């Protein structure tokens, strides 16, 4: 293999070691800027129904939330009614004299205007630096209004994007009341955001809910994917917590297990038959519903037998190059690697960013414990300055790497143009969703079939030119 463009070539375990030792963390200040802590905290909080997320800051901070999360994702796509994106609109005078007084008034006003079940004050850079005591204001304000008022320190500079999710989940625990009873055969699904967001597509969650219902397992709350405050209050009454994705549910699951003794089902994402079976039994067995789960799995497996047979026939002996960097994300890429291996392919994961390994350390270690340790390649383009330069260079590198393997199939999205069949796994195309569970097996089989049967059709010069500036055949 031409190694000029390769920065790392090894397995996941070796990459983890390099990241842990600090060897693989990119140094360019100007490159790759994921969301800040404020955004991710907001996502989680906005996944609770009838909540006012009260942003204690200038009007820029709620921009993304208002336009993208609220109006597009929630109202337009997910059937969520228009909910407030409230803001204290801090200006220079507040920066100088403090904004606590205004915040207290804002909480009272928010309650009077929106009649919410919960108000969560989210601090941002301004209020954090000037030292507004949002927790004290929340405590004071709660005495004056008819709902709980919580405060979340979510200054953008205050942590990485992951810390926003985790702090918000931690805050939600404060709403959980001591259990009055136990809800038999009932679980919480943990780790959802935005009610729900592009990383938790409705279809995947619907498939999980369908399979659980077939077994006879009830869901109290999807936290925080459109759950109510009432459901959160009763969250400790369940028998078990599970996660739609180990990565995002893990922190909240561990915290609830430590504090309340509620067991947490540790399983990966249900991609493919083995992982789906593990996921369902991971939930059903602790509930004493293993037999029902086995019955459902057997029935579902019959339905997908032809698809599984096709996937084995299609993928055995192939090298599956897997690159899922933007949508849907690195943990799905690793889950897909496991699924590809299950169907007889040799998975090679390309360009999973070291930053994301660093941010997802517990999940990566969990996957390694489960024996998921695929071959990994990182290329120079991944570390280039600027989005265009980076994507152009990684495209060129992907095309070159693909040529180095025999019998290759690419799992990624249609924005790549390697000289091999492309399985378009983007989550931005609802036609082949869900990817989870048994319905997911059918959809992935269909995508693989389309990729292989149409591999000789011409690709779009137009789209390639748009993305990479070539426009040439």
Partner 1 sequence: MEQGRGEEAAGPATPSREACTDPYLRCAFNGAAQTALGVSRSALLAHSPQGCEYLVNNAFASQECDYMETMTLCTKLCVDEIVHGGEDVLARTIREVKDLPISALFVISACGPEIVGDDIVAVCESLQPEVKFNLVPIPCAGFRGSQYDGIDIALDTILKRLVKGGGEKVPVSVCLVAPHANANPTWPADLAWVKHTLSRMGIKVVATLTHKTRLSEIENVASAEASLLLSHDAGQNAADFLSTNFGIEQVCKGMPLPIGMTNTERWLFALGERFDVRKTAEEIVSEGERMVTATCRRKWPMARFLYRTPAAIVADATVGIPLVRFVTEEMEMTPALVALYSSKQPVRDLLDQELHSLSLKPQVVYGTDVYKTRKSLREVNPRVVFGSTIERHASEGLSVAYVVEVVRMIRQFRMINREYFGYTGILNLFECVQNEWTMGWRSKERRYEAKW
Token pair recorded at residue 38: 């404020």
Name residues whose C-beta falls within 8 Å of residue 240's C-beta, 6 or more positions apart in sequence.
187, 262, 263, 264, 265, 283, 286, 287
Q: Is 109 in the site for partner 1 (CB under 8 A)?
A: yes
**With respect to partner 1, which residue has the nearer C-beta, 89 or 426?**
89
Q: Is 34 in the site for partner 1 (CB under 8 A)?
A: yes
User: Before 328, cis peptide (omega within 30)?
Assistant: yes
Q: Is 385 in the site for partner 1 (CB under 8 A)?
A: yes
Q: Is 95 in the site for partner 1 (CB under 8 A)?
A: yes
Q: Is 326 in the site for partner 1 (CB under 8 A)?
A: no
**With respect to partner 1, which residue has the nearer C-beta, 306 or 471?**
471
Q: Is 116 in the site for partner 1 (CB under 8 A)?
A: no
- Rounded CA-CA distance 153/124 in Å is 7
Token pair recorded at residue 45: 């909080």
- Rounded CA-CA distance 90/127 in Å is 8
Token pair recorded at residue 14: 């070796």
In the list 110, 120, 444, 448, the residue contacting partner 1 (rule: CB under 8 A) is 110
Per-residue x/- marks for partner 1, 63-82, CB under 8 A?
xx-xx---xx--xx----xx
In the list 44, 48, 49, 58, the residue contacting partner 1 (rule: CB under 8 A) is 58
CB of 150 to partner 1, least distance (A): 16
Note whether 360 and 247 are within 8 A (CB). yes
Q: Is 84 in the site for partner 1 (CB under 8 A)?
A: yes
Burial of 247 (C-beta count, 10 Å sphere; 0-12/13-18/19+): buried
Q: Is 54 in the site for partner 1 (CB under 8 A)?
A: yes
Q: Please give the size of the binding site for partner 1, defined by CB under 8 A.
A: 63
As a whole number of Å, the end-to-end CA separation of the chain is 25
Neighbours of 382 (CB within 10 A): 24
In the list 47, 116, 156, 329, the residue contacting partner 1 (rule: CB under 8 A) is 156
- Return phi, psi of residue 16, to 5°: -55, -45
In the list 48, 51, 102, 412, the residue contacting partner 1 (rule: CB under 8 A) is 102
**With respect to partner 1, which residue has the nearer C-beta, 121 or 420?**
121
Angle between helices 387-404 and 461-468 (to 10 degrees): 130
In the list 12, 19, 45, 57, the residue contacting partner 1 (rule: CB under 8 A) is 57
Q: Which stretch binds partner 1 (CB under 8 A): 103-111, 202-210, 296-304, 345-353?
A: 103-111
- H helices of 216-360, in order, are 229-233, 246-260, 272-284, 290-315, 330-342, 354-359
Q: Is 387 in the site for partner 1 (CB under 8 A)?
A: yes
In the list 5, 46, 88, 186, the residue contacting partner 1 (rule: CB under 8 A) is 88
Residue 190's SS3 state is: strand
Residues in contact with partner 1 by the rule CB under 8 A:
28-30, 33-39, 54, 57-64, 66-67, 71-72, 75-76, 81-82, 84-92, 94-95, 102-103, 105-110, 113-114, 124-126, 129-130, 155-159, 385-388, 469
């Amino acid at each position: 293999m031409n190694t000029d463009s390769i920065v790392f070539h090894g397995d996941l375990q070796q990459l983890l070691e390099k990241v842990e030792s600090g060897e693989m963390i990119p140094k360019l200040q100007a490159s790759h800027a994921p969301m800040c802590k404020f955004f991710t905290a907001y996502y989680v909080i906005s996944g609770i129904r009838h909540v006012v997320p009260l942003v204690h800051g200038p009007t820029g901070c709620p921009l993304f939330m208002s336009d993208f999360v609220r109006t597009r994702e929630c109202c337009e796509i997910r059937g969520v009614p228009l909910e407030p994106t409230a803001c204290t609109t801090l200006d220079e005078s507040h920066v100088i004299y403090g904004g606590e007084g205004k915040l207290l008034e804002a909480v009272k006003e928010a309650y009077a205007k929106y009649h919410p079940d919960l108000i969560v004050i989210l601090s941002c850079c301004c209020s954090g630096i000037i030292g507004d005591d949002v927790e004290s204001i929340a405590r004071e304000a709660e005495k004056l209004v008819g709902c709980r008022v919580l405060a979340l320190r979510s200054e953008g500079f205050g942590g990485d994007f992951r810390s926003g999710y985790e702090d918000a989940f931690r805050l939600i625990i404060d709403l959980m009341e001591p259990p009055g009873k136990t809800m038999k055969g009932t679980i919480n699904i943990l780790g959802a955001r935005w009610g729900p967001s592009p990383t938790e597509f409705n279809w995947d969650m619907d498939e999980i809910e369908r399979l659980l219902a077939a077994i006879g397992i009830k869901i109290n709350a999807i936290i925080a994917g459109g759950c109510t405050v009432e459901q959160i209050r009763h969250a400790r009454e369940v028998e078990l917590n599970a996660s739609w994705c180990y990565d995002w549910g893990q922190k909240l699951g561990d915290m609830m297990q430590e504090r309340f003794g509620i067991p947490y089902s540790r399983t990966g994402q249900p991609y493919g038959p083995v992982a789906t079976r593990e996921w369902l039994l991971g939930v059903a067995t602790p509930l004493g519903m293993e037999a029902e789960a086995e019955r459902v799995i057997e029935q579902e497996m019959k339905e997908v037998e032809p698809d599984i047979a096709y996937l084995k026939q299609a993928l055995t002996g192939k090298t599956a190059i897997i690159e899922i960097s933007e949508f849907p994300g690195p943990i799905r890429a690793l889950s897909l690697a496991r699924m590809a291996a299950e169907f007889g392919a040799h998975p090679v994961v390309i360009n999973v960013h070291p930053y994301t390994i660093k941010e997802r350390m517990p999940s990566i270690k969990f996957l390694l414990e489960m024996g998921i340790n695929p071959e990994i390649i990182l290329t120079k383009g991944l570390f280039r300055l600027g989005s265009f330069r980076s994507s152009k260079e990684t495209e060129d590198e992907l095309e070159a790497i693909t040529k180095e393997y025999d019998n290759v199939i690419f799992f990624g999205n249609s924005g790549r143009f390697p000289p091999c069949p492309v399985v378009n796994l983007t989550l931005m195309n609802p036609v082949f969703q869900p990817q989870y569970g048994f319905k997911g097996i059918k959809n992935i089989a269909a995508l693989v079939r389309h990729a292989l049967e149409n591999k000789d059709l011409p690709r779009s010069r137009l789209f390639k030119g748009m993305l990479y500036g070539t426009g040439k055949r």
